[in-house]
Structure 1
């Protein structure tokens, strides 16, 4: 097999079981925060309450972000 695109970079991934989207391996904190916000969007919160809840939920996962080398390839 040969690959027409290869990219390697130092990054991080969320190394834990999470309930936001259990089919996703998160390698971007902003993307994870957006997914958390989407998963909590059904609640009846003020903007301030919602922002605080998203920040609190994201912060609970902070210890589980692990450094790694991310390799993206296609074929």
Structure 2
């Protein structure tokens, strides 16, 4: 979806600069958690749906500092 279409339907959005990880902290934290299971460079298309679901469930119950040590599922 392009910027004009996003503005037309009234969604708030922002863009970040390449290689500026501090502009997208939660994304970087999620990537770090994901990489505990799958190292960088692995073709995610070759990973089973069961494995992806296992990672997703683990990430959702992982306690987050921003949630005062609670998890996304609680």
TM-score range, shorter chain: 0.3 to 0.5
Q: TM-score, normalised by structure 2?
A: 0.34
TM-score, normalising length: structure 1: 0.34
Whose RCO is larger (CA < 8 A, sep 6+)?
1
Q: Which has the higher strand share?
A: 1
